Every structure is written in structure tokens, then in C-alpha cells.
Amino acid sequence: MTLVQLRHFLELANTASFSKSAVKLHLSQPALSRSIKSIEDEFGHQLFDRVGRKIELTAFGQYFYAQARDLVDRATNLKQSSHQLLSGQTGKVRVGLGSGPGALLTSPLMKYVASEFPKAHLEIARGHTTLLVQALRDRQLDALVLDIRSLNPSSDLEVEGLCELPGAFMCRKGHPLSKARQVTLAKLKDYPVASTPLSDEVARILVDRYGADAHPDVLVNVRCDEISSLLDVVRSTDAILVAVRSLGPDLVALKMSPELNATAKFGWVSLRSRSESPLCGYLRTATKEILSGH
């Protein structure tokens, strides 16, 4: 028994006429009769009784009709929903964002999905790199956007670089250092320094530029995974933030001596063993476009 045969049966049940059904189905009457008989032979019961020139469903045929209608409807819905899923119109994607990417991408990505894929589902998780990577490996997340310098290389991870964004030491407007022509590390250390957890690569750059006292373990007084909280602190106190410059457009970038010349390298991280859904692919492209605007 096939879906085609079920559709033949349903059409015949609706018209109660072999001739009318054959015309609608673009079949000869003998071909339609063979299709119906094939179902009857498979189940060992008649589907129709002949009443004069017309036919009507048997008791078994009435039961079979309800089941066949449900199966054909389900098959039609499956085809439609599969098309929508493969075209990215529907589906569910769970994306993990590190602290910097989270501040830059959370709202834009939600707006993108709401406007371009209103029937799709997007879940965003934010947190520390280690926890996000574990959630990815546990299949609780489909992809991550991280500062990939904080990521330990691993053969099971696929990493695509998205962009590099310059970092800076930043303070509020009106801060004692905001108008200084040059800021040395010694001047900087007169004030509390805030940051998210920094990668070993960034720590190396800081030590190379400014000496051992610039290592994050020594320099940073206030550390938090949530960049929005750090921004609130810096906007309302004399604390200085070290982060991606575009995260604090209202803040003043200090003129460090020597210059910092450090960047955050954001990347899209997924599991090599996992196929990417169409919707996830659209999100990856959108993420790259959003970050390119910074």
C-alpha cells in the first residue's frame, strides 16, 4: 500500500464513482480498479459495496477512510513542514554567546529572526566560554559566537573567523583621565580596572606592552562575564574598562602610551560532527554582517 493508492481510495470514496474518479486522477478505470483491489487484497476486506450503478463504503471502508485521510494529511503536512525547515522558514536554533558577542549580537539577532523568520525559534544563552563549549558538546547548543582566542583548540570543533574588533581602555566622559594626552600604566593603576575574563593571548599582549603589572590577574580589580554590568559600573564610577571599543561607544577611549594595538577575534564555533541546519546557516551569515558593522 502506498500514499498514491490511499489518494486513489479517498478520491473514489468522495465521488462514489469509478468513472469520475478516474478522470480526476488521470487514470483509466481498470487502473483505478487495480489500485483499489490491491488495498483490499492486502487487508483481506472489501472497501466498497456496489449499489446499482454507484458504490458505497463498507463498514471496514468507513473505518479505513478515517485512517487514510489522517495518513494522507500527515504526509502532506510533513512535506510542507520539511520544505519550510529546509528553506529556513521554520526550525529551532540555540546559540551561545560569549560576553563581548552577547553585548553586540543578542538584540540584533533576535530582531533578525523575528522579522525574517517569524515562524522559527531562536534561543540565546550567554555565559563563560568553558560552560558554553560544554553545552555545545552536550548538544544543548547548536553554535557559539566567542572571542576564539579564549578557546582551547580541539579536533571536534569547527571554528570560522568572523571579524577582529579593536580593544581599548575606556572611561566615562568627565573622568580625570578622559582628556589626558597620554596615559601610562602607572596613571591607569590609580583607578580600578574592570573587564570580562581575558584570554591568555590578551594577557600576553598586555604584558608585552606594559610589563608584568599589566597581567589581568594583577591589573583587573572588577571581573564579570556580563559586559553590560561592567559598562554600568564604568559609566557611574571612575573605574576603567578594558574591552572591545565598540561595546562602549559613549565612553572615552584612553590614549595609552604605548598604544594597546590589541583586537578581539570573534568566531562562529560548531561541532564538526554535526550538520548545520538551514536556519543556523542564515544566522551565521547574519552574525557576520552584524559584526562587520562594528
Q: What is the CATH number of the domain that holds 107?
A: 3.40.190.10
The predicted pLDDT at position 181 comes to 95
* pTM given for the model: 0.69
Query: What is the DSSP secondary structure assignment for residue 214, as one 8-state letter?
Result: G
The predicted pLDDT at position 154 comes to 93
Cα–Cα–Cα angle for 181, 175, 210, nearest 5°? 55
Note whether 243 and 273 are same-domain residues: no
Note whether 184 and 159 are same-domain residues: no
Range(s) of the domain holding residue 231: 166-263
The predicted pLDDT at position 87 comes to 67
Of 201, 103, 224, 197, the C-alpha closest to 152 is 201
CB-based contact 171:251 (threshold 8 Å)? yes
The predicted pLDDT at position 76 comes to 78
The predicted pLDDT at position 84 comes to 59
Looking at the chain, which runs of residues are DSSP E strands? Answer: 48-51, 54-57, 92-97, 121-126, 143-147, 157-171, 193-195, 222-223, 240-244, 252-253, 263-271
CB-based contact 144:133 (threshold 8 Å)? yes
CB-based contact 187:219 (threshold 8 Å)? no
- CA dist 44 and 35 (Å) reads 14
Band of the pLDDT at 81, cuts 50, 70, 90? low
Mean pLDDT of 83-101: 81
CB-based contact 133:200 (threshold 8 Å)? no
Which one of 86, 106, 128 terminates a domain?
86
- CA dist 50 and 33 (Å) reads 13
- CA dist 171 and 196 (Å) reads 15
Which one of 70, 86, 102 terminates a domain?
86
Band of the pLDDT at 257, cuts 50, 70, 90? very high
Note whether 196 and 159 are same-domain residues: no
Note whether 134 and 171 are same-domain residues: no
Mean pLDDT of 213-240: 95
Q: What is the CATH number of the domain that holds 35?
A: 1.10.10.10
The predicted pLDDT at position 88 comes to 62
Burial of 266 (0-12, 13-18, 19+ CB in 10 A): buried
- pLDDT tens-digit readout, 27-77: 999 999 999 999 999 999 999 998 877 899 999 999 999 999 999 888 877
Average confidence score pLDDT of the chain = 92
Whole-angstrom CA distances from 167 to 13, 92, 247, 250, 263 are 72, 33, 9, 15, 5
% of the chain exceeding 90 in pLDDT: 76
CB-based contact 234:240 (threshold 8 Å)? yes
Which one of 86, 118, 135 terminates a domain?
86
- CA dist 253 and 168 (Å) reads 6
Note whether 188 and 259 are same-domain residues: yes
- For the cut 80, the answer to whether the pLDDT of residue 116 exceeds it is yes
Q: What is the CATH number of the domain that holds 173?
A: 3.40.190.290
Mean pLDDT of 73-101: 79
CA dihedral 148, 149, 153, 156 (to 10 degrees): -10
The predicted pLDDT at position 85 comes to 61
- The total of structural domains in the chain comes to 3
Alpha-helix runs per DSSP H in 16-54: 18-25, 29-43
CB-based contact 88:113 (threshold 8 Å)? no
- For the cut 70, the answer to whether the pLDDT of residue 213 exceeds it is yes
Cell numbers found for residue 114: 523575528
Task: Report the amino acid identity of residue 254.
Answer: L
Query: What is the DSSP secondary structure assignment for residue 46, as one 8-state letter?
Result: -
Residue labelled with grid coordinates 541546519: 277
Of 93, 95, 92, 105, the C-alpha closest to 269 is 95
CB-based contact 138:271 (threshold 8 Å)? no
